[in-house]
Every structure is written in C-alpha cells, then in structure tokens.
Amino acid sequence: MNEKNINCPNITMRLETASVLVNKAIDAVTMNKIQKRNLIWLELTGCSGNIISLLDGADPDFKSLATQMVKIVYDNSLMAAEGEFAMEKLFNMLGKDYILAVEGAVSTKDGGLYNVIGRFKGESITAYRAIKELGEGAAYVIAVGTCASDGGISAARPNPSKCVGVQDLLNRKVIKLPGCPCHPDWFMGTLAYILLFGEPALDERARPLMFYSTLIHDCCPRHPFFEQGVFAEKLGDETCMFKLGCRGPVTRVDCPIRKWNDRVNWPIGDNSPCIGCAMFGFPDKMKPFISYNTT
C-alpha cells in the first residue's frame, strides 16, 4: 500500500476489466439476453485456497456471482446439500450444459486412490474419475489456481501422490488461471467474458491475455530501484527484491496493478519477494523462494 500505480491509462484501465465484465454479464442475464448457465466448482487435490480467495472478491464480489450471474449447481464446500444428494446433483449434470471450474490438481497414483472426493451409488469417486467424467462434457473447463493449471504444490518433488494438472488428463482445451491462490478478479472476469462472448483471447499456454500478458517486473513500482541498482538486502527493505530471489522478472500476471484483497497490498508491496506462484513449474522451478546474498 506504499506505492502508487504506474500512471499509464492502458494499465490502470485494466483494473476495471473484471467488474465491467461481471456487471455486463449480470445485466445481460437480468434482461434475458443471455441465459443463466450452470457452474460446477470441483475441488480436487488441493487446499481450498481458491474458493476462499473467491469469497474474498470485492468488486465484483461472490454474492453477485452466486445469485445473479450463474447457477452454482455444485461446490463441495459451500453447498447445503450433503453426500449422496450432492453427488447426484453433480453427476446429473452429465449431458447438460455446464461450465466446469476446477480447483486442485489430480492425484493419479494407484488409480487416484490418494484423493477420494466422495461416494456415489456405493462406489468411491476419486478426483481422477471425477475430472475424467465431467471434464470432456463441459462447455468450458477453467483450471483455477496453480495446482489445477499445472500440478502446483500438490505435485511438488517428490510428488508423493503423483499429481498432475487437469490438462494432462483431458483431450480438450482447458483455460488456465494459475496463481496460488487464483485472484478472484481473474476467475470472475474470465467467467463473465465466457458468458458474454465465449472464449477469451489466450496466450500459448491458454492463459487469458487480459490478466496474464505483462511481467510483474515490467509493471513493478520498484522497477526504478532495479534500474538504479538499489537492491534489498533483507526482507522488509523497501527497494528492489531482485537479489533476494524475486521471481517478478519471470512471472507473467498483473499483481502489481491489481494487488490483493480489495487492492490494499501485494507481496512486493509487503517488502517480500515474489515467489512466482502464478508460474508454471511452481514451486520447484521457483525455489529457493528466499535467498540472501545471491550475488
């Protein structure tokens, strides 16, 4: 919260992207221009951090998503229905129109038995089976967070449960929203875009360009320190975090502009290095997160 955003209209305008899209989608639903589509939020091998992050959405917020924009037919943590009744609601969607949002990686070891998400008609439903059955028939599949996008921390070395990202198991396009967790704006903006216009423009790794087209380093308010060679020697310093191992120079997402939690702060603003949580290969390709004296 200590720095001002870079004052470029092209960049500051992007802050409004998610709320403009969501408001447009809600208007279109209200005026019956588009239908209120079904959303399944499937939680697989992860930490629930992405649904918690979604609840932290401020503008747009979760209430407008859940009550005005889509019909959330399944979300294992928030839905009131339980067990068999809930599983029935989930599998009843097969053959119907639904958008599938997936949080968490997919555990593949021993046929997926390291993650059982429920039972249906007497059978254990593994995360592996759930994504196989629900993934192909969805109108769109959105991988929410780094675990769903690329395995993430659930697949960290030595990957004891043999986790993979959702794409590895599906023969179809999966829109990826990496980030640990995924920012609520990234998800709600992408979903609203889909409802209004269909698939958004994606980069070569299927990330929406409207959120993932800039390097953190290029938009970092501490970039002038980098140019002048003024580097932090410890966490807590208010200069460039490059020599502490900051992954801003390789991480492609809009954190420096968007920030977190109603835009009050973000990791570099909190005087700590970016750990590259929105990058493919996180965490193993981003470690060590903190190193003193890299030069």
Partner 1 sequence: MEIEAIIEKNAVTEAKTEGLLFRGFEKMLEGRSPFDAVYFTQRICGICSTAHSIASSMALEDALGVAVSEQGRYLRDIIHACEFLQNHIRHFYQYTVPDYIKLPQENPLFETDHNDFRLPKTKNDLIVQHYFDSLEISRSAHEMLAILGGKAPHNHGVFIGGATSEASAENISFMRSIADNIRSFIISTMIPDAYAIAEYYPEYFNNGRGYGNLLTYGCFDGYEKLGTLYVDPLVYVDGSVQNLNPRWITENIHSSWYTAKRETYTPEQEIPEPDIKKVGAYSWVKAPRYAGVPCEVGPLARMWLSGEYRHGISTMDRTLARVLEAKKLSEIILTLLNNLIPGVSVQKEYAVPQSAFGAGLTDTTRGALGHWVRIENGLIEQYQIITPSTWNLSTRGNDMLPGPCEKALISTLIENTDNPVEIGRIIRTFDPCVSCATHIFAKGNLVKSFKVVP
158 binds partner 1 per the rule CB under 8 A? yes
Site map (CB under 8 A) of partner 1, residues 165-184, x = contact: ---------------xx---
Least distance (Å) from partner 1 to the CB of residue 25? 17
Site map (CB under 8 A) of partner 1, residues 236-255, x = contact: xx------------------
Give the chain's length. Answer: 295
Measured CA to CA, the distance from residue 78 to residue 99 in angstroms comes to 17
| 3-state DSSP assignment of residue 4 | coil
Q: Which of residues 202 and 290 has its CB atom nearest to partner 1 in the complex?
A: 290
Residue recorded with tokens 């592996």: 128
Measured CA to CA, the distance from residue 214 to residue 42 in angstroms comes to 29
197 binds partner 1 per the rule CB under 8 A? no
Measured CA to CA, the distance from residue 180 to residue 60 in angstroms comes to 20
How many chain residues bind partner 1 (CB under 8 A)? Answer: 86
Measured CA to CA, the distance from residue 116 to residue 76 in angstroms comes to 13
Measured CA to CA, the distance from residue 34 to residue 197 in angstroms comes to 10
Residue recorded with tokens 């980098």: 226
Q: Which of residues 84 and 203 has its CB atom nearest to partner 1 in the complex?
A: 84
**Stretch touching partner 1 by CB under 8 A, among 23-31, 132-140, 196-204, 230-238:** 230-238
Measured CA to CA, the distance from residue 134 to residue 231 in angstroms comes to 48
Site map (CB under 8 A) of partner 1, residues 117-136, x = contact: xxx--x--------------
**Stretch touching partner 1 by CB under 8 A, among 49-57, 129-137, 169-177, 187-195:** 49-57
